[in-house]
Amino acid sequence: MTPPLRGLLLTHAPDLAWLQQQLALADAAILKIVTGWGLADGWTNAARAAAARLAPILVVRTVSGDPSVAGGMHAQLAPSRVLEEVRPWWEARDPARSFWVEVGNEPLLSPEPSEQAAWNYQWGLDRSISQLRAAFPGVQIIGPAHMLNHPVALGEHSDGQRRWTAISASALRRCDALATHAYTAEQLRRGVAMLRELVSPTRPIWGTELGLNVALDDAARGRALAGLLASTELAAGIFYHLVHSPGDDPIHFNPHYTLRPGTLAALAATREVLVSPSPVPAPSDADTVLHPQVRVGGFLMDVRQWRTVAAFRAHLAAHDKRGVAPWATGITVHHTAVPTAATWRGAASMRAMARFYTQKTPPWDRGPQIFSVSGAPNPADDGIWQMTPLNARGIHAVSFNATRWGWEVVGDFDTTRWDAGTSALALGGLAALHDWAGWSTVRESTLNGHRDDPKTDKTCPGAAIDIASVRRGVAALLQGKP
């Protein structure tokens, strides 16, 4: 069985950079956005276009058909409003990525649910599907989902969700995917079983709102969310929910199901156990760690970690640069901007970065060779990390990919300089590569920044970093000076 796709549901983000960071931490393939809210400064056309490129799959959920909004004034689906909400997102979409519309939300939250209201909703859903397909050729549609954490009666039927689903079954069958919401494994299994019985035994089912309302630390919560997703067969699961701070959304900022960065990283890390790598001999040096389980389909990577510069030097000394990388004539230095050291989670971050590169347009099949990080929450995640093997050309700067290794210093250094730990790792590692390559003199031809690429517009390794000072520091280490 193919593992379900994973996504995140946005409630409120201060900006798109923060949103991108959370998606990368979670290694998320899906971003779900509700048209009526989500971004501090509102959704401009430019913001929609940028958001549409943050994940391989975008799900746009309508406010129309959501009884929880504005005292129930949008409880019924209005086909004209559905089109009005979706149109700007459709126009801003990336045609190379999947675009889905989720029509409506939790219909039985209506203040006075009734059978007549259910039939009216069914009519609105059927009409909305027809008009969406006519207006937006190729659009993919997800039917509205119920919240199953408490029973709701519908007329004489005590199980209102079941009765509503039976009424709407003919319209739901016209959708490309069905949906359910759940906050326990039991609710998820019940929702899937109801859709399978009443609507379709084969239509893909998405958990478009999944969460856990229990007190757990980040590591346990990440594992529990992965377990919830695996508790029944789904095509995709979207976790609830992303909100930056309590002030952004005081109603929904429940610490039991608000997705913290640590939870997202722990959730991403659960993917690693799904891979069964070939046995790899363990290195004899405790400061050298291999991560063969970190894989992204179709992406060239060989993840290794050296916790010290000395361990990195020892690795290099075991190989001949002339035979390994005769094409390498220098190093180009970058900064990641996202993630930073504070959000670095080691192997999980390496995999998330690789996933991020595969989502570019056009997608990358490899990335930079080296990342260096100091100050991660877990000190065991600090060090010099390899993504793309040093013997292979990487992708990091258009003008320099063919002739230079790419070195990413983890952090955002447009306004902040390297601290002592970051500087020691970066300068020490750059000096080790110079020494191994036989470059006795450090100059622009052997060490530059991404901002030196005339074909791109970058500040790397950060506007606060003086690349001439970096060269002097590397030269001092090569000459054995303090």
Q: Are residue 266 and residue 147 in the same domain, yes or no?
A: yes
Q: What secondary structure, in 3-state letters, does the chain show?
A: CCCCEEEEEEEEECCHHHHHHHHHHHCCCEEEEECCCCECCCCCHHHHHHHCCCCCEEEEECCCCCCCCHHHCCCCCCHHHHHHHHHHHHHHCCCCCEEEEECCCCHHHCCCCCHHHHHHHHHHHHHHHHHHHHHCCCCEEECCCCECCCCCCECCECCHHHHHHHHHHHHHCCCCEEEEEECCHHHHHHHHHHHHHHCCCCCCEEEEEECCCCCCCHHHHHHHHHHHHCCCCCCEEEEEEEECCCCCCCCCCCCCCCCCHHHHHHHHHHHHHHCCCCCCCCCCCCCEEECCCCCCCCCCCCCEEECCHHHHHHHHHCCCHHHHCCCCCEEEEEECCCCCHHHCCCHHHHHHHHHHHHCCCCCCCCCCCEEEECCCCCHHHCEEEECCCCCCCCCCCCCCCCCEEEEEECCCCCCCCCCHHHHHHHHHHHHHHHHHHCCCCCCCCCEEEHHHCCCCCCCCCCCCCCHHHHHHHHHHHHCCCC
Q: Which two tokens stand for residue 148?
A: 């199953």
In 10 A of CB 222, how many CB atoms? 24
Whether 432 maps to a domain, the answer reads: yes
Q: Are residue 374 and residue 442 in the same domain, yes or no?
A: yes
CATH code, domain carrying 171: 3.20.20.80
pTM of the model: 0.65
Model pLDDT, residue 96: 79
Whether 35 maps to a domain, the answer reads: yes
pLDDT digits (tens, 9 = 90+) for 138-184: 999 999 999 887 778 888 898 999 999 999 999 999 999 999 999 99
Of 123-132, 226-235, 276-285, 342-351, give the range with the top mean pLDDT: 123-132
Model pLDDT, residue 150: 74
CATH code, domain carrying 422: 3.40.80.10
Q: For the chain, what is the mean pLDDT?
A: 90
Q: Are residue 252 and residue 347 in the same domain, yes or no?
A: no
Model pLDDT, residue 71: 64
Q: Whole-angstrom Cα distance, residue 482 to residue 480?
A: 7
What is the domain extent for residue 422?
Answer: 288-478
Q: Are residue 165 and residue 216 in the same domain, yes or no?
A: yes
Q: Whole-angstrom Cα distance, residue 353 to residue 163?
A: 45
Whether 283 maps to a domain, the answer reads: no
Whether 282 maps to a domain, the answer reads: no
pLDDT digits (tens, 9 = 90+) for 165-174: 999 999 999 9
Is residue 127 a contact partner of residue 80, using CB atoms and an 8 Å limit? no
Whether 439 maps to a domain, the answer reads: yes
Q: Are residue 237 and residue 363 in the same domain, yes or no?
A: no
Model pLDDT, residue 250: 56
Is residue 460 over pLDDT 90? yes
Is residue 342 over pLDDT 60? yes
Q: Are residue 36 and residue 124 in the same domain, yes or no?
A: yes
Stretch 49-72: mean pLDDT? 88
Q: Are residue 358 and residue 267 in the same domain, yes or no?
A: no
pLDDT above 70 covers a percentage of the chain that reads: 94
Which of 3-7, 127-131, 364-368 has the weakest average pLDDT? Answer: 3-7
Is residue 359 over pLDDT 90? no
Is residue 478 over pLDDT 80? yes
Q: Are residue 229 and residue 312 in the same domain, yes or no?
A: no
Model pLDDT, residue 466: 95
Which of 131-140, 165-174, 264-273 has the weakest average pLDDT? Answer: 264-273
Higher pLDDT, 13 or 270: 13
Q: How many domains, the chain? A: 2
Q: Are residue 341 and residue 221 in the same domain, yes or no?
A: no
Is residue 7 a contact partner of residue 238, using CB atoms and an 8 Å limit? yes
> If pLDDT is split at 50, 70 and 90, which confidence band does 338 have?
confident
Is residue 427 over pLDDT 50? yes
pLDDT digits (tens, 9 = 90+) for 279-315: 555 566 789 999 988 888 889 999 999 999 999 999 9
Whether 281 maps to a domain, the answer reads: no
Model pLDDT, residue 23: 87
pLDDT digits (tens, 9 = 90+) for 238-263: 999 999 887 766 556 777 788 988 88
